[in-house]
A = this chain, B = another copy of it.
Amino acid sequence: MTRPYNFSAGPAAIPEEVLQQAAAEMLDWQGSGMGVMEMSHRGKEFISIYEAAEADLRSLLAVPANFKILFMQGGGLAENAIVPLNLSQGGAVDFVVTGSWSQKSFKEAGKYASNRLAASGEASNFTSVPDAASWKLGSDAAYVHLCSNETIHGVEFQQLPDLKALGCNAPLVIDFSSHVASRPVDWSRVGLAFGGAQKNIGPAGLTIVIVREDLLGRALPVCPTAFDYKTVADNQSMFNTPPTWGIYMAGLTFQWLQRQTEGSLTGVAAMEARNIAKAELLYGYIDASQLYVNKVDKAYRSRMNVPFLLRDESRNDAFLAGAKARGLLQLKGHKSVGGMRASIYNAMPLAGVQALVDYMREFERTSA
């Protein structure tokens, strides 16, 4: 039987092969006599799982050697505090606000730093992003924060800004929760990237932080030791007991990513090609339809999260009911935006997007 297609914004679909392997190894991981959840995090079995996950992620994302990869807890919302606790030194931080998530980050940072609004997409109702040349970046900023893919508003940076070219020497911090591993990252433009795992990487409860080494060791005295990046890095993410199951699932997902190919491409490059094809199929259909609309500036449309409205909102419930009956799950939009949202992360195959488009076309034709 084919599984339904799950368009949840997160926690989100996980590749079936990954789930099958996790189920098969549940009671006995590779002859150890223990399931992964039952292992000491300091034993050789789990250390091997951890080291493989770290190395595979480093390889997949081409993370340079002068960046540390940390496996933490608390998700993006906790990082909204943990980042300024670690990097602000109580000074000023410049925020580029492009939707709900960067707005939350901006607000939380005010507890620890002078949070300044460098730019905001609010005037466009977060359907576009102010041009980087217009951002007000202070020379004294401890860092510049942006959310490189806004899960709710469906706004994505197609390339990261070159802060140096903008005359700013501060490190760039990106929240890449909802598009990590969907496309390459230009690390030459990044000081720190963080993301909850529950979109493209694994289960909720695991947070990925990738941080340039020279940014370690700046934590405020009130930073909890368990969330001090330097402490976490110095202890190979095992100062406190790490979320071992999440790391294991992430590791299986990384192995799955490595097996993916599109033509001559593999890994994240293959995923990017597939994600472009998926996004073009869905946006192309929406733009050509009479019933559906996506209002985001084409230059900033997210490949991962596609919010769309029905021009006739009275048909929303019928749309969702019909979708569910066809095995197209979790398409309801976020309450702050309304309408629908199709999250088409790495685990969503092109066939799933095609099934959605086929249903949308049928619904438009038959329900008019």
Residues of A participating in the B interface, judged by any CB pair closer than 8 Å = 3-4, 6, 8-14, 16, 19-20, 22-24, 26-28, 33-35, 37-41, 43, 73-78, 80-82, 85, 108, 111-112, 196, 198, 202-206, 221-222, 224-227, 239-246, 249, 327, 329-330
Contact = CB atoms under 8 A, between A and B. Distances in A.
A204 B244 contact: yes
Given A37-B203, A38-B11, A78 B19 contact: no
Given A12-B38, A19-B35, A225 B28 contact: no
A316 B10 CA distance: 48
How often does this chain occur in the complex, in copies? 2
A11 B247 CA distance: 14
A40 B19 CA distance: 17
Given A111-B221, A226-B75, A19 B26 contact: yes
A241 B111 contact: no
A198 B242 CA distance: 10
Query: Could you say which of A28, A76, A205, A246 has the most chain B C-beta atoms within 10 Å of its C-beta?
Result: A205
A239 B76 CA distance: 11
A239 B330 CA distance: 20
A39 to B, nearest CB: 6
Contacts of A240: 74-78
Query: Could you say which of A23, A33, A80 has the most chain B C-beta atoms within 10 Å of its C-beta?
Result: A33
Query: Could you say which of A108, A227, A327 has the most chain B C-beta atoms within 10 Å of its C-beta?
Result: A227
Interface of A is mostly: loop
B203 A81 contact: no
A327 to B, nearest CB: 7
A199 to B, nearest CB: 10
24 contacts: A3-B27, A3-B28, A8-B40, A11-B37, A11-B244, A14-B35, A16-B27, A19-B27, A19-B35, A22-B26, A23-B23, A23-B27, A26-B26, A34-B330, A74-B74, A76-B240, A78-B227, A111-B224, A111-B225, A203-B244, A203-B245, A204-B242, A205-B205, A243-B246
What are the nearest 7 A-B pairs in CB distance?
A205-B243, A81-B224, A77-B240, A4-B33, A23-B26, A73-B73, A78-B226
Nearest to A225: B108
Contacts of A81: 224-227
Given A11-B38, A73-B78, 11 more contacts: A6-B34, A10-B241, A12-B38, A13-B38, A73-B205, A75-B226, A77-B241, A78-B226, A204-B241, A205-B205, A205-B243
Contacts of A108: 224-225
Contacts of A196: 241
Contacts of A26: 19-20, 22-23, 26
A28 to B, nearest CB: 7
A298 to B, nearest CB: 28
Contact of A8 (B13, B28, B38): B38
Given A20-B27, A205-B244, A240-B76, A37 B10 contact: no
A227 B77 CA distance: 10
A355 B81 CA distance: 49
A224 B245 CA distance: 25
Contacts of A24: 23
